[in-house]
């Protein structure tokens, strides 16, 4: 029984990391899409194609991955009693930052579809620092567990 639970934990962790990769790929790609999207003239067929690509990336990859990462991550946390550990609090704080960023991107995609272009290409490129820094901190927390 003990062995089965240990194996189950590893399978959950593998699933968690696989969907983390899908989610992070989307978090890096979507602002890039926005940059190219905003270079297309308003009302052009290219504009419509970008709206479609962004909606598909969110619907097929990013929303399902967000849910699976959270569900499997919380299952792992419960299994090892992570809620009382310092590294997990820091990890969770940065995962919440990534989750808020995800929701902000979803809102920006909706605005773009409605013709509202709030940020310059340069600012959108700079946004890519957010998932990069957050992922680095999160991975250090789960691997090194410094506290």
Closest contact distance (angstroms) between CB of 143 and ligand HEM is 6
Least Å from the CB of residue 43 to ligand HEM? 37
Nearer to ligand HEM, 37 or 91 (CB): 91
Contact residues for 71 (Cβ-Cβ < 8 A; gap 6+): none
Distance (Å, whole) CA 129 – CA 93: 17
Nearest to 135 by CA among 102, 104, 91, 105: 91
Residues engaged in binding ligand HEM (CB under 6 A): 13, 16-17, 20, 24, 69-70, 73-74, 76-77, 80, 82, 95, 98, 135, 138-139, 142-143
Report, in Å, the least distance between residue 53 CB and ligand HEM.
23
If the CB atoms of residues 25 and 76 are measured against ligand HEM, the closer one turns out to be: 76
* 16 torsion bin: left (phi>0), alpha (psi -120 to 50), beta (else): alpha
């Amino acid at each position: 029984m003990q062995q089965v639970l240990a194996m189950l934990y590893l399978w959950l962790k593998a699933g968690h990391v696989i969907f983390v990769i899908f989610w992070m790929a989307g978090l890096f790609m979507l602002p890039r899409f926005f940059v190219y999207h905003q270079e297309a003239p308003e009302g052009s067929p290219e504009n419509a194609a970008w709206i479609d690509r962004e909606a598909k990336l969110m619907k097929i990859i990013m929303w399902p991955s967000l849910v699976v990462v959270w569900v499997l991550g919380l299952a792992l946390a419960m299994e090892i009693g992570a809620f009382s550990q310092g590294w997990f609090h820091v990890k969770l704080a940065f995962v919440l930052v990534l989750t808020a960023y995800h929701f902000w991107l979803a809102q920006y995609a909706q605005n773009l579809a409605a013709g509202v272009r709030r940020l310059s290409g340069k600012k959108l490129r700079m946004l890519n620092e957010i998932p990069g820094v957050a992922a680095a901190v999160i991975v250090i927390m789960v691997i090194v567990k410094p506290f």
